[in-house]
Amino acid sequence: MLRHPRLVSTAEIALFLLPFAAFWILFRLGPVLYGFYISLFRWDLLGEVTFIGLGNYATLARDPRFWNALRNTLGFAALAIPLIVGIGLLLALFVFGVRHSRAGRWLEAGFFFPYLLTVSVVGLIWRWMMDPDFGVLLIVLRSLGLGAPPFLNEPRWVIPALALTTAWWLAGYRMVLFRAALEDIPDELYEAARLDGASGARIFLSIVLPLLRPAVLFALVLTTISGFIVFGQVLIMTAGGPGRASEVLALYLYRYGFEFLQMGQAAAVGVVLFVIILGLTLLSFRWLGYESHL
């Protein structure tokens, strides 16, 4: 006689979740709440800690340097997020199309390889490639008769150059996400669409893209976070220059916290970044739909 499996009680479920919940509260939620707490104080490490309420946020609102960093961050994110997700999707479609060929796996490995590099290596490679005197990229462009400005020394071009560098670095991981999602689409759907006379573009828009919504949502949220907390490549490649043309919010936070020792104001910047990322994440869920996991 078959025995029905015993239902798991709420207490047992809570016990399974407790270790994860404890680590999440300790290392995720705790630092966020403590950062908001610090942002309510004048906390400069050299004097007394004084409660000032929303004073740090008022200081940010009056600081032109903060608004410049916010504009730079928004400009970088507006370029880098579509580039990373778009290039990742294009690479995934290409690799998926040649998956049965001998070179398919080598191409996929080559496209993914930049993601294995650390941000310091990526920053140094691209700073060398874009060097205004002997940069390989500039030499190649000029040899082709194309006007190649000194990307990292030109205020108009420095943010696009950083976005391109970041896309080269991170697009490979998004490719892997989309590649795995493409594998989950049944071949019968492609065959039925071809029998109905659907073109490649129609198959992509009506079958592939809708079924990729969960992967697109995950990639978009992940890339949004990366786009707004960009720091390492900016610090290594430009240090916020020329002038302050590439000083982003994360670099602004770092300087006020660890160079000027104004922890309260730095924490306020962190809260602003958190609110922006949270808002854009919720918009992504609203845009793509909560049901995208179905």
Complete DSSP assignment for 182-238: HHTS-HHHHHHHHHTT--HHHHIIIIIHHHTHHHHHHHHHHHHHHHHS--HHHHHHT
Q: How far apart are the first and last CA of the chain?
A: 36
DSSP bridge partners of 41: 51
Q: Which residue has the tokens 């808002």?
A: 279
DSSP 85-106: HHHHHHHHHHHHHTTTSTTHHH
For the chain, residues with pLDDT lower than 50 are 1, 292-294
Q: What is the pLDDT of residue 120?
A: 94
Q: What is the pLDDT of residue 293?
A: 45
Other C-beta atoms lying within 10 Å of the C-beta of residue 182: 19
Contacts of residue 191, Cβ cutoff 8 Å, sequence gap at least 6: none
CA-nearest of 6, 37, 10 to 270 is 37
pLDDT tens digit sequence for 65-119: 999 999 999 999 999 999 999 999 999 999 988 877 878 888 989 999 999 999 9
CA-nearest of 110, 126, 107 to 118 is 126
Q: What's the pTM value of the predicted model, to 2 decimals? A: 0.88
Q: What is the pLDDT of residue 146?
A: 76
Cα separation, 5 vs 170, whole angstroms: 45
**Burial of 219 (C-beta count, 10 Å sphere; 0-12/13-18/19+):** buried
Q: What is the pLDDT of residue 233?
A: 94
E-assigned strand segments in the chain:
41-42, 50-51
Its CATH architecture, for the domain 58-293, is Orthogonal Bundle (1.10)
**Burial of 60 (C-beta count, 10 Å sphere; 0-12/13-18/19+):** buried
Cα separation, 270 vs 26, whole angstroms: 18
CA distances, 45 to each of 50, 51, 261, 265 (Å): 11, 14, 6, 12
Q: What is the pLDDT of residue 6?
A: 57
